[in-house]
């Protein structure tokens, strides 16, 4: 009889108590929860990283378009209007928030290989680019070409909050030059700016704002 009781006690001592089972299950659940949280954080970080890469690729594409268009500005001559006493000037009209000029790197294929391009910003649409054929002999004809209509305008970047321009003027190579907020070709002795500074403010997917500044030389001034 004593041997039977001893054997039963031995078998009971070989198993787990209820407290041990509860502790083991709790620890296992905690490990699974930690592993799942880490997995979710990893997936979230990977997804956000992919979004950031795609976002910066779009910004780089916008910068490439701006650089290509502005650097290829062409000295396109137009005559003044009937009431204008100025001499002929180059079609390059810029202020702080918009730029209108002729380029030989058109967005769309043109008959004469030249395009009239305008770059501006709209609060509800973002950074815009309008393009049309440069077929005008006078300033008045050039002004009548509509580039901000739906048929001519393209949204370059809906993430852009604003764009600002500055124009570097230098009459002679030995001069220091200066940055201007506006470019009126009638006052510039028939020349293009040496360089254009374009600053675009973007907002990323996390709501953060930052500026992308491009210094764009006008290639025709280097020839």
Cβ partners under 8 Å of residue 95, min gap 6: 165, 181, 182, 183
Q: Which pLDDT score, from 0 to 100, does residue 98 have?
A: 97
pLDDT digits (tens, 9 = 90+) for 209-223: 889 999 999 998 765
pLDDT digits (tens, 9 = 90+) for 3-25: 554 555 555 455 567 777 777 78
Over range 123-139, report the average pLDDT.
Answer: 89
Higher pLDDT, 2 or 113: 113
Higher pLDDT, 185 or 98: 98
Q: Which pLDDT score, from 0 to 100, does residue 140 have?
A: 81
Higher pLDDT, 186 or 126: 126
**How far apart are the C-alpha atoms of 178 and 175, rounded to whole Å?**
9
pLDDT digits (tens, 9 = 90+) for 136-185: 878 888 888 889 988 889 999 998 999 999 999 987 766 788 999 999 88
Burial grade of 170 (CB within 10 A; 0-12, 13-18, 19 or more):
middle
- Of 111, 119, 116, 28, whose CA–CA distance to 65 is shortest? 119
Q: Tell me: pLDDT of 52 over 70.
A: yes
pLDDT band (50, 70, 90) for residue 61: very high
Q: Which pLDDT score, from 0 to 100, does residue 78 have?
A: 87
- Of 111, 121, 197, 109, whose CA–CA distance to 153 is shortest? 121
Cβ partners under 8 Å of residue 171, min gap 6: 189, 191
The H or E element spanning position 8 is helix 2-14
pLDDT band (50, 70, 90) for residue 97: very high
Over range 26-34, report the average pLDDT.
Answer: 80
Mean pLDDT rounded to a whole number for the chain: 82
Residue 149 has which token pair?
């209509």
Higher pLDDT, 75 or 24: 75
Task: Please write down the long-range contacts of 106-109, taking CB distance under 8 Å and 24 or more positions apart.
Answer: 106/131, 107/65, 107/69, 107/131, 107/154
pLDDT digits (tens, 9 = 90+) for 33-49: 787 777 677 766 666 66
Cβ partners under 8 Å of residue 121, min gap 6: 97, 127, 128, 160, 161, 162, 163
Cβ partners under 8 Å of residue 111, min gap 6: 133, 135
- Of 119, 65, 76, 78, whose CA–CA distance to 96 is shortest? 119
Domain boundaries, the chain: 53-221
Q: Tell me: pLDDT of 84 over 80.
A: no
Residue 3 is classified by DSSP as H
Cα 213-218-221 angle, rounded to 5 deg: 150
């Amino acid at each position: 009889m004593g041997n039977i009781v001893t054997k039963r006690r031995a078998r009971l001592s070989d198993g787990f108590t209820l407290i041990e089972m509860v502790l083991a299950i709790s620890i296992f659940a905690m490990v699974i929860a930690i592993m799942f949280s880490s997995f979710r954080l990893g997936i979230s970080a990977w997804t956000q990283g992919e979004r950031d890469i795609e976002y910066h690729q779009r910004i780089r594409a916008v910068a490439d378009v701006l650089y290509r268009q502005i650097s290829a500005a062409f000295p396109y001559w137009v005559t003044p209007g009937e009431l204008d006493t100025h001499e002929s000037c180059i079609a390059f009209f810029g202020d702080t928030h918009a730029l209108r000029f002729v380029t030989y790197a058109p967005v769309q294929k043109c008959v004469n290989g030249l395009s009239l391009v305008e770059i501006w910003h709209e609060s509800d649409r973002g950074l815009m680019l309008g393009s049309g054929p440069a077929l005008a002999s006078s300033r008045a004809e050039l002004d009548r070409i509509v580039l901000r209509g739906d048929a001519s305008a393209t949204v370059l970047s809906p993430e852009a909050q604003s764009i600002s321009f500055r124009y570097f003027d230098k009459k002679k190579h030995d001069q220091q030059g200066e940055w201007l907020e506006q470019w009126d070709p009638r006052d510039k002795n028939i020349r293009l700016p040496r360089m254009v500074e374009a600053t675009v403010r973007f907002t990323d997917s996390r709501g953060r704002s930052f500026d992308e500044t491009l210094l764009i030389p006008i290639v025709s001034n280097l020839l």
